[in-house]
Amino acid sequence: MPRKANITTQNLTDRALGHFWENGFHASSLDDLVKSTGATRHAIYGAFGGKKQMFLACFQRYQDLVVSPAFTQVEQPDATLEQVANYFEAQISRAEETGLPGPGCFVANSATEVAPHDTDVLAKVEEHNARLKLGFLNALRNETPATHQLSAEELELLAGVLVVFTNGLWSTSRLTQDGDFLRASTRQFLETIRKRISAP
Amino acid sequence: MPRKANITTQNLTDRALGHFWENGFHASSLDDLVKSTGATRHAIYGAFGGKKQMFLACFQRYQDLVVSPAFTQVEQPDATLEQVANYFEAQISRAEETGLPGPGCFVANSATEVAPHDTDVLAKVEEHNARLKLGFLNALRNETPATHQLSAEELELLAGVLVVFTNGLWSTSRLTQDGDFLRASTRQFLETIRKRISAP
DNA sequence: TTTGATTCAGAACGATCATTCTGATATCAA
DNA sequence: TTGATATCAGAATGATCGTTCTGAATCAAA
């Protein structure tokens, strides 16, 4: 049992998250993490076992801290595209407060940089994308009028399209400094989806 | 003037391109590049001046070798969404031949990994995205019926949506081994766009 | 063949990487 | 206070990084 616990494992994770989020895995050195967390190397290795495990802990923390609070509304049984729009707005305004161009999405960044070469990260990324797809599908179903225009397969594909767009959007948020552009793109996209699933 | 030129600068670039494309900038060491090109360090530094400049040369080579051949059809004055679909199909089938999950898009990868921390790469990424947007806008205009439903601003935003989707799609191609999923997603997306710009 | 420039393979370099280790310091039970 | 333990700051370690350098091999022109 620890005698002193000035820095908890969760605090450590919270402070490291920002650095991994912004710089990715390879460009985040242990020195950087020591500086940004204020913890000693000993503490980091004691808490996680290594840089990689620390990264995975930050991944999980990101989902709990950033993804879930904004996305649970999409997963509600009665959610529609309005909740999807709220989810996008929440993430865009958060990015604006932090400053654009921003770090984008921790998961999307990991998907391109780390996941292709690391099965652990790949599994977590796919789990995240599956969650997004399920939530989007839920909203699409509720939005679709009773007289379905689209088959179940088409609806599922559309949910996948939403996931693809989402990943592209957070990628864009690493480059643009214009939050309103992200907002307008999202609105156009959702308008397009809405027209697609509405009755002709 | 060189006495011996077994390996030209272009050959060097071609061979390094694959490694940077798959592994990104940070995870591609000089040792890796020496091995994958078959050239000496001396040759690499003589031809480019450093790892970073070599990366930029590969970036340009990627555009000439991969992007332009598939995208010029979208930039033709009479191009429509059919050419856009052909562009996607060309890239997806190329990825399938190379093997999925694949390296995705060199530019999209660089956009998340390198561009936020390097102004040179950022400029090239933005240039690429601007080119895509212009081409997509061209196709959207030609596809739109004479009695416009959408304003010029909306059409431009839609072109931006296409760019966002594109980046998300190539990101997905780094994770999935199912080319038909990419195809189906693209088809659904383009169907959605088509319905959006068609008369009601 | 001799010469002089060029490319070669690979060693050398200083910096930095992730990881481990070492005393000194701080904390708590007694 | 004392003694045991946990955390501290930072040095040590071996590996690897990007870059430069060295001497041998290779070439075209004399």
pLDDT value of residue A150:
87
Positions in chain B whose pLDDT score sits under 50: 1-5
The count of CB pairs under 8 A between chains A and B is 135
Closest alpha carbon to C1' of D4, residue: A3
SS (H, E, C) chain A: CCCCCCCCHHHHHHHHHHHHHHHCCCCCCHHHHHHHHCCCHHHHHHHCCCHHHHHHHHHHHHHHHHHHHHHHHHHCCCCCHHHHHHHHHHHHHHHHHHCCCCCCCHHHHHHHHCHHHCHHHHHHHHHHHHHHHHHHHHHHHHHCCCCCCCCHHHHHHHHHHHHHHHHHHHHHCCCCCCHHHHHHHHHHHHHHHHHHHCCC
Residues 84-143 of B with CB under 8 A from A: 101, 104, 108-109, 111-113, 115-117, 122, 125-126, 129
Q: Which CATH architecture has domain B59-197?
A: Orthogonal Bundle (1.10)
User: Structural domain boundaries of chain B?
Assistant: 59-197
pLDDT tens string B19-46: 999 999 999 999 999 999 999 999 999 9
Q: How confident is the model at residue A8 (pLDDT cuts 50, 70, 90)?
A: confident
* B171–A111 CB contact, under 8 Å: yes
pLDDT tens string A108-150: 999 999 999 999 999 999 999 999 999 999 999 999 877 767 8
A177 in contact with B, Cβ within 8 Å: no
- Taking the whole predicted model, whether its pTM rises above 0.85 is answered as yes
pLDDT tens string A78-109: 999 999 999 999 999 999 999 999 999 999 99
Q: How far is A195 from chain B (nearest CA, A)?
A: 6
B20 in contact with A, Cβ within 8 Å: no
d(CA B170, CA B64): 18
Q: Which DSSP letter does residue B75 get?
A: G
Chain C bases having any atom below 7 Å from a protein CB: 4-11, 16-22, 26-28
The residue of chain A nearest to residue B173, with distances taken between CA atoms, is A112
- Side-chain-facing half-sphere of B11: CA atoms under 13 Å: 9
A27 in contact with B, Cβ within 8 Å: yes
